[in-house]
Amino acid sequence: MNLTLKIWRQANAAAKGNIETYPISDVSPDMSFLEMMDVLNEELMVKGIDPVAFDHDCREGICGMCSMFINGEAHGPDRLVTTCQLHMRKFNDGDTITIEPFRANAFPVIKDLTVDRSAFDRIQQAGGFVSVNTSGNTQDANSIPIDKHDADKAFDAAICIGCGACVASCKNASAMLFVSAKVSQYALLPQGKIEATDRVLNMVKQMDDEGFGNCTNTGACEVECPKGISLENIARMNREYYSASLEG
């Protein structure tokens, strides 16, 4: 496959970025998107051009590091996959592919296609945890009966890898899907209910402080989420928030 890549280049956080065009040839349809980027970078380095910086780690869709906005969609045109799981067979010979970083004021660009997603870490630190007494008399988690229905829903929420595709896809750069997944995974389990009130209030406050936009229920986040996190979690977080606000 011969392709034309239009890639956002930005030297650093303070620099003004722009789209650069790079032709690439002999791309195998069996390559992953990141492998194609590796080949491009090798060619750029041979030419003495600074390689394109992009985030990646596990390359098997579980770490949430890769974060490219490809042809107008987070993680590209495929569904329920991260960029590392996207294959070049999803494109056609002669295509022009536009590659940009995830864009949101809360996700500032560090360099080229890498963005700072530490806003998600700070939201997690605000309440995305369960305080466990580790003094030696901790109750065995398996001894606490949990309804199978709730356990399944908690697991469905917990598979969020925090990649930020929801923010990148939302026209408002809202982080509601991410935060609601983190709130839900605890709210549904008995271990998480103890701190439920403070958790949702603190995490939503942190989300707002980070400068994410408001949810307008377009559903784009759910469609683009590589893990299929449901909008049902946002409704649950809203209920948790109303309840916590009345209590608090």
Partner 1 sequence: MISSSIARKLAMALSGVFLVLFLGQHFTINMTSVISEKTFNSISHFMGSNPLVQFVLQPILIFGVLFHFIMGFVLEIKNRKSRSIKYTAFNGAANASWVSRNMIFSGIVILSFLGLHFYDFWFPEINYKYIEFLPENPNRYYEELVHKFHDPIKVILYSVSFFFLALHLYHGFASSFQTIGVNNKFSKSIKLFTVAFSIVVPLGFVFIAVFHHLNGQ
- Residues in contact with partner 1 by CB under 8 A are 6, 8, 19, 69, 71-73, 77, 98, 100, 103-106, 169, 171-174, 204-205, 207-208, 211-220, 223-224, 231-232, 234-239, 241-242, 245
> Which of 12, 28 has the CB closer to partner 1?
12
The CB-of-82 to partner 1 minimum distance in angstroms stands at: 16
- Cα angle 102, 107, 111 (rounded to 5 degrees) comes to 70
137 vs 133: CA distance, rounded Å: 8
Q: Kindly tell me which of 51 and 219 has the beta carbon lying closer to partner 1.
A: 219
- Minimum Å gap between C-beta 113 and partner 1 is 13
- The CB-of-104 to partner 1 minimum distance in angstroms stands at 5
Please name the amino acid found at residue 6: K
Residue showing tokens 């001894």: 143
The CB-of-135 to partner 1 minimum distance in angstroms stands at 36
Tokens linked to 130: 């369960």
Main-chain dihedrals φ then ψ at residue 28, nearest 5 degrees? -80, 140
Nearer to partner 1, 107 or 186 (CB): 107
Can you tell me the distance from the alpha carbon of 12 to that of 204, in angstroms, rounded to the nearest whole number?
30
Q: Closer CB to partner 1, residue 151 or residue 235?
A: 235
**Nearer to partner 1 among residue 59 and residue 238 (C-beta):** 238
CA distances from 107 to 92, 116, 139 (A): 31, 5, 39
In this complex, which beta carbon is closest to partner 1, that of residue 157 or of residue 204?
204
Q: How far is the CB of 71 from partner 1 (least distance, A)?
A: 6
CB of 109 to partner 1, least distance (A): 8
> 142-156 burial, b if ≥16 CB within 10 A, otherwise e?
eeeeeeeeeeebbeb
Q: What is the CA radius of gyration of the chain?
A: 20
